[in-house]
Amino acid sequence: MLRFENELWFWGMLLVPILAILFIFLTQWRKRAIKRSGDEILIRRLSQGYSPRRQRLKTALYLLALFFIFIGLANPQLGSKLEKVKRQGVDVIIAIDVSRSMLAEDIQPNRLERAKQLVSRMIDNMKGDRVGLIVFAGNAYLQMPLTIDYAAAKLFLKSVSTGMVPTQGTSIGDALDLAINNFDRDQRYAKALMLITDGENHEQGAIDLANEAKENGIIIHTLGVGSEEGTRIPEYDARGQLRGWKQDKNGQEIISKLNEAFLQEIATISDGEYFRLKGDRKEVGAILSQLDDMQKKDFEDRVFTDYEDQFQYFILVAIILIIIEMLISARSVGWFRNWSLFGDKQKI
């Protein structure tokens, strides 16, 4: 398994395209300055031996080296030791609503991001529990099967967005059905489903599936995201810029409201608890307390217990690229005026 020890260094990679754009801008500015300064033929003779192609190559090598440096600083690590681990815990599947209504901003920065922050804190505080991840909107998809690899769980969580499920809606029934089928049916305890949604656009079949979940020993805890007053649903363009508010067929702005009564009913049916996302850390403690009170099971899994650093290979590549860049001259000198390192013949 691959992981990165210092993921914050990935932000440094933004320098690569910025520097590339700056180089292009300076190149164009230089060309315009030459045209304004006088006789182009005379200027070419004065700068004889200078190779724009070679300068572009030097810049490309430098930017590529910078890219590898930032990967090295992030320190990729490969799992090197796989061991069997015995634990006691609960199987927990987290089902997250990724419909467009989860972009509503009655909870800052929006419903989905705040829900992801809470789930991330939950995972950080889990001990011995296996965790799985489902995303749903008009359909439900298994994003990650049950695992005790919490680092992988957080990586999958980061990728959760409203664009990952093409069919819109809030099919809670599909999420419940998928969760039921991904738990061990032969096991009648230590199974919990954390359903995170605003509860809108639910289907009648969700109630029947909640009863089926209870019959299979699954406790459903629900987490309501949003406000009862509701708010508008923003719509963004491909660049992430706000282009308006979601409207119905009559051209009226849609107001998305939290449906607490429905989520409370789902939780009650399966002997679970309903929680309201308010943004404080007490919610995480309350949810984990419910999981701790459940009957635990013993299970065995294979996990990586040791990782080997791989940063040195990326730094080595960067050093080689920088050395090559230094060996290439942007201007031909001596016999380089006739032949460049890359066969770019120059006339004197």
- Take residue 158 and report the two structure tokens written for it: 């980061």
Average pLDDT across the chain, whole number: 85
Q: How far is CA 82 from CA 76, 102, 231, 304, 346, in A?
A: 18, 38, 49, 4, 58
Q: How confident is the model at residue 260 (pLDDT cuts 50, 70, 90)?
A: very high
53 and 9 in a common domain: yes
pLDDT of residue 219: 96
Q: How many CB atoms lie within 10 A of CB 231?
A: 20
Is 112 inside any structural domain? yes
pLDDT of residue 334: 47
Query: Minimum mean pLDDT among 122-136, 313-327, 329-343: which range?
Result: 329-343
93 and 68 in a common domain: no
Is 345 inside any structural domain? no
Q: How confident is the model at residue 338 (pLDDT cuts 50, 70, 90)?
A: very low
Is 343 inside any structural domain? no
233 and 118 in a common domain: yes
Q: How confident is the model at residue 341 (pLDDT cuts 50, 70, 90)?
A: very low
Nearby residues of 25 by Cβ (< 8 Å), 6 or more positions away: none
Domain that holds residue 203: 83-237+244-302
90 and 50 in a common domain: no
Is 348 inside any structural domain? no
212 and 296 in a common domain: yes
pLDDT of residue 114: 93
pLDDT single digits (tens) 48-87? 656 778 888 999 999 999 999 999 999 998 877 777 777 7
Is 347 inside any structural domain? no
Q: How far is CA 88 from CA 85, 190, 292, 297, in A?
A: 10, 10, 11, 5
The single-letter DSSP state of residue 254 is P
CB burial of residue 121 (10 Å; 0-12, 13-18, 19+): middle
Is 134 inside any structural domain? yes
70 and 137 in a common domain: no
134 and 48 in a common domain: no
Please give the tally of structural domains in the chain. Answer: 2
Q: Which of 269, 272, 273 lies closest to 283, judged by CA?
A: 273
Is 344 inside any structural domain? no
Give me the mean pLDDT over the 101-119 stretch.
Answer: 93
| Residue 226, domain CATH | 3.40.50.410
324 and 294 in a common domain: no
Whether 29 has a pLDDT exceeding 90, the answer reads no
Is 279 inside any structural domain? yes
Cα–Cα dist 258/97, whole Å: 13
- The label of the residue with tokens 């089902």 reads 95
Query: Minimum mean pLDDT among 116-120, 214-218, 301-305: which range?
Result: 301-305
Q: How far is CA 107 from CA 63, 90, 112, 328, in A?
A: 40, 30, 9, 55
61 and 35 in a common domain: yes
316 and 181 in a common domain: no
- The label of the residue with tokens 């939950």 reads 122
58 and 103 in a common domain: no
pLDDT of residue 304: 67
CA dihedral 260, 261, 263, 265 (to 10 degrees): 160
119 and 48 in a common domain: no
Whether 138 has a pLDDT exceeding 50, the answer reads yes
The dihedral through the CA atoms of 62, 66, 72, 76 has a sign that is: negative
